Amino acid sequence: MNNTRNLKGILAAASFIEESDVEIAGADPVLPTRFRIAEAGAAALAATGIGAAALWRLRTGRQQSIGIDARAAAAALRSTRYLRIDGAEPPPIWDPVSGIYPDAAGRHLYIHCNFANHRAAAVKTLGVADDRKAVAAAIARGNAADLAEAIVAAGGVGVLVRTPAEWAAHPQSAAVASLPLFSIEKIGEAPPEPLPPGERPLAGIRVLDLTRVLAGPTCARTLAEHGAEVLKIAGPHLPHSGAVELDTGHGKRSAHLDLRQPADAETLRRLVRGSDVFSQSFRPGTLAARGFAPEALAALRPGIVAVTLSAFGGVGPWGGRRGFDTVVQAVSGMAVIEGGTEKPRFMPVSAIDYVSGYLMAFGAMVALHRRASEGGSWLVTVSLARIGQWITERGLLSAAEIEGLPADLTTEEIAALSTESRSPAGRLTHLGPVLRMSETQPRWARPAVPLGHDPAAWTDQ
C-alpha cells in the first residue's frame, strides 16, 4: 500500500526504527490534482505522530496508537483556506501581481510577489507600473528566461516555468537529486539530556521559531501541538504573510526582534541559551551572517537542535536562491504536469510547504530523542525542492482518475475537522490538529496571537 511504503521511506531517511501502531486510512485521489498529495501528507503527519509517540515512550514506557485519514491530511495541506476571523474570510493571501505569465514566444514566467520588496523588484525590472495588466504586457513582449534572471538579480523571485525534462537537464536538478530526503546530523558534543518533566510528549521543550510563510511555521506549530513552548521571533521591519501568520501561529507566543540592533541580537542569544530547538527558514547564510549559524548555536547552547529549511538545499548553482512552494512547482515541471505546457498551473494545495514543515518537526523530534539517549547537538536540514521531488516520485494520477472530483471536502467534513479559539486578533475558526493519538491527543494550549504580541522571553522568565 502506498501509505505504508511512504511512511517507511520517511522513517528510513531518519534511520529511525520505532514500533508503532499506525493506521493511515484512505488514499488518493481526494482533490483534483494529479499528484498524490493526500498520501504524501498523511505519511508525513504519521511520521510526526511516531516521533511524538517515541518521546512519550521515553517519558512513560507506554506505547500509543496513531491514526490519520488521507482526506483530513489533504485538508491540512491548505489549512489557511479554512481560517475565519470573527466569521469572515481574511484578506486574500496572494498579491495581485503574483502569477504565471506567457512571454513573446509562448513560454511562461512565474513571479512571486507576496512580499512587497519582491513585488517592487519585479516591477522595477520590468519597468512598468505596479499593475497586473502592465506586468502582463511587459512580459508578453519579453523573454521569460532572461526576465527571470534579471528579477532574481534585482532581489526578486522569478523563474522560467520548465517542463520535467528541462528541469532534469538543469544542473540544479542534479544537485537537488543528490540530497537525502532530509538529514539529521550530529554537529557537536554535549551530554545526554533527559526530557523535562511533563504530561505531553514535548512538555518542557522550548522552541525558537525564526521562520516565515508556511513550511517553517508549520514545523513549530506541529511541535506546539505536542506540548512544546514555542516563541515565534519576527522582525518588525520585515514583510510578513498577513492572516496566514494566525493560522500557522496556533500554540505559539510571538515577539519582535530586529537582529540588526546589537541589543536585540543579544536578546536572541539569551533566548538561545534557554532553548532546545532553533528553527529557521531564511535564505542560506542570512542568519549565519548575524552570528546564528548552526555551529554557532551549538557553541552557544550545547545540546541544541537546529532545524533549517531552504528552497534548493544550499547546493548547486541555485543553492542560495530564494524560493517558495510555488517556485519549486514552476521550475521543476510540476506546474506543467498539473496544467500543461500551454497553461501551467499549481496544485490546489501547498503540499510542498506543509510536508516540508511536518518533516522538519519529525526531524526535530528524532533529534531530541537522540539527544536524550546519546547526547550531542543536532542539525535537521530540509529542502523544498527535494520534498517536491519526493512528492512527484509518489507517482501521478491519470486525468481520468481525477475527472469530476469535487474541488474540496464537504462542508460537513471541514466542520468536523475545525475548531474555534479566542485570540487577541478575534474569534478564530480554523482546522484543528488532524492527527489522532490514543494517549496524547495533539492540541494547542494557547491561541494564535498577532506578530510581536509578547515579550521576547520564556514564560518563566
The secondary structure of residue 35, as a DSSP letter, is B
Q: What is the pLDDT of residues 172-223, one digit of tens each?
A: 999 999 999 999 999 999 999 999 999 999 999 999 999 999 999 999 999 9
**pLDDT for 409:** 98
Q: Of all residues in the chain, what percent carry a pLDDT higher than 70? A: 99
For residues 154 and 66, give the distance between their C-alpha atoms in angstroms, rounded to a whole number: 47
Q: Which 3 state secondary structure label does DSSP give 209?
A: strand
CB atoms within 10 A of CB 325: 26
What Å distances lie between residue 85 and 70, 93, 249, 279, 422, CA to CA? 27, 14, 14, 27, 10
98 CB-contact burial (10 Å; exposed 0-12 / middle 13-18 / buried 19+):
buried
Q: Which 3 state secondary structure label does DSSP give 372?
A: helix
Whether the CB-CB separation of 70 and 27 falls below 8 Å is answered with: yes
Complete edge-to-edge strand list for the sheet that includes strand 158-160 = 99-102, 108-111, 158-160
Domain 2-91+176-316+347-437, second-level architecture:
3-Layer(aba) Sandwich (3.40)
For residues 67 and 437, give the distance between their C-alpha atoms in angstroms, rounded to a whole number: 6
Which sign does the torsion angle of CA 444, 89, 121, 111 carry? positive
Q: Which residues pair with 208 in a beta bridge?
A: 231, 278
The secondary structure of residue 312, as a DSSP letter, is S
Of the candidates 373, 390, 438, 378, the residue with the CA atom closest to the CA atom of residue 52 = 438
Domain ranges for the chain, please list them: 2-91+176-316+347-437
Write out the chain's pLDDT in tens, 461 residues.
467 889 999 999 999 987 679 999 999 999 999 999 999 999 999 999 999 999 999 999 999 999 999 999 999 999 999 999 999 999 988 999 999 999 999 999 999 999 999 999 999 999 998 899 999 999 999 999 999 999 999 999 999 999 999 999 999 999 999 999 999 999 999 999 999 999 999 999 999 999 999 999 999 999 999 999 999 999 999 888 889 999 999 999 999 999 999 999 999 999 999 999 999 999 899 999 999 999 999 999 999 999 999 999 999 999 999 999 999 999 999 999 999 999 999 999 999 999 999 999 999 999 999 999 999 999 999 999 999 999 999 999 999 999 999 999 999 999 999 999 999 999 999 999 999 999 999 999 999 999 999 999 999 86
For residues 347 and 164, give the distance between their C-alpha atoms in angstroms, rounded to a whole number: 15
Whether the CB-CB separation of 224 and 277 falls below 8 Å is answered with: no
Question: Are β-strands 21-25 and 65-69 bridged in parallel, bridged antiparallel, or unpaired?
Answer: parallel
